Structure 1
Amino acid sequence: MKNNLGILFVCLFCQIVLGQNNSRKPLHGQVVNDFLAIESGYIMNVNANVRTFIGAGGLFDIMARPKDTLLFSGLAFQSKKIVLTEKDCAEILFKVKLDLVNNELKEVVVHKELKVKSLDQNSQHYTDLQFEDDKQSTAKNIAMYSDQTIKYGTDFVRIFKDVKKLLSKKEDVQEDVVSDIAFVEYAKDNFTPDFYGKTLDLKPDEVELFLMYCSNDAESKKYLKPDDKFLLMDFMVNKNKEFKKIAVSQK
């Protein structure tokens, strides 16, 4: 009798565990834009460690449940992060509006080509400027293989503030979303394509999805100073190992 009860208990426990693991259901969705039909890109469910492709008509299917975080990324549109609600998962066709790539965001990142304006009382923007080496600077051996580190250490915090100013002109944007965008733009601007393509072995259309995946980790917000460039690189290399393990689901 005791053995039967034990077996029954084990069976019930297994059913509960399996029920929890299989609580995600297929989410049928569509990405849309007012001006362009989006028919390519990636969608990742961070919590389920799975990603899928955006197909014809912007349609996609991915396993999900409420409170899961979805990352949307593609070459034609601005990356986006959404935390699913009960209502989202109950939709017959969950629609997500995506904005086209905004070149203005790239201008927020401080480049060495910025021109110096006449002096005034506000000196902050001079702090943000970057300058080429002069005759007194230590010579840089450009013939040696690049270590892919950041040559011009832009201040992340300043970028966050500038990006938020730009985005707030259109709508009220949450701080974490601004931070995600700032991280993506900063990392793309300050690491070479070879770092992503050769060192991390990422395809061009995977880079932004990978950076969104990195920015979703609170650890990324610790590397906001130019002095942390090596820590940032090490962080991205380790996150790439996780990224490569994420399963790709086929429609």
Structure 2
Amino acid sequence: MKTKIGILLLTLFCQLSYAQIGKSRLIKGQVRNDLVPVENVIVFNTKDHTGTNVNTYGSFEMMASVNDTLVFSSLVFKSKRIILKEEDFLKPKIFVPLEVFTNELAEIIIKARKDMSPVSGNTQKYVDLQYFGDEKSSPKNTAMPPDGSIDKGMDFVRMYKDVLKIMRKNSPEKTDFHQQTSFSDYVINHVNYSFLSNTLKLKDDQIKLFLVFCENDSKSRSLMNPSSEFQLLDFLSTKNKEFKKIIAN
């Protein structure tokens, strides 16, 4: 009798655990970097095909479940993937560190963090620290050879500069491509990650830049409605061909 009760309880526990794993729940998180403020990052749930943007403080929240994969893509930071665990949902907020691209992106505008307060008092010691060559202030790019080339690899910094140069040439009046993100927001919420990744063959590091590239086309504004779903996918496919030509040079 005790054995039967034990088996019954074990079965109920397994069913409850399975139900919790498959159930979508709200998860909150924050992306971080020790060197620069983190913003203009998009987050995709590759399983549920949902996405969102982090806010100006690097925070985000979205529906997800255990074993879902979150993909983080940005212009300034290297992409990152994390697989959610049960303990992540028990925390008030998960923290995701992002690594900045080693070479400086001269064309990228990085806005100052809004919640930072000015330094008061004797500031000379802080000025001196700016020139101290520790590991964080002067990181070495161990993945890049001294001549700046990558054997059978892709230089994302060079690629970003080429794309941004083309956008500025076509629209010289635009100086900060981070400001207008409405089209990117729409695509993130209405287009599956699998379409961007599998159909368009975009790498995680390329997705954010590609959306900004598409957004720079005035035609993108007319496709932000449910009745233009097929036209939107066709537009993205066409822009992807242009995008691939630029980054291939």
Normalising TM by the smaller chain, what interval? 0.3 to 0.5
Give TM-score scaled by structure 1 length: 0.39
TM-score by structure 2 length?
A: 0.39
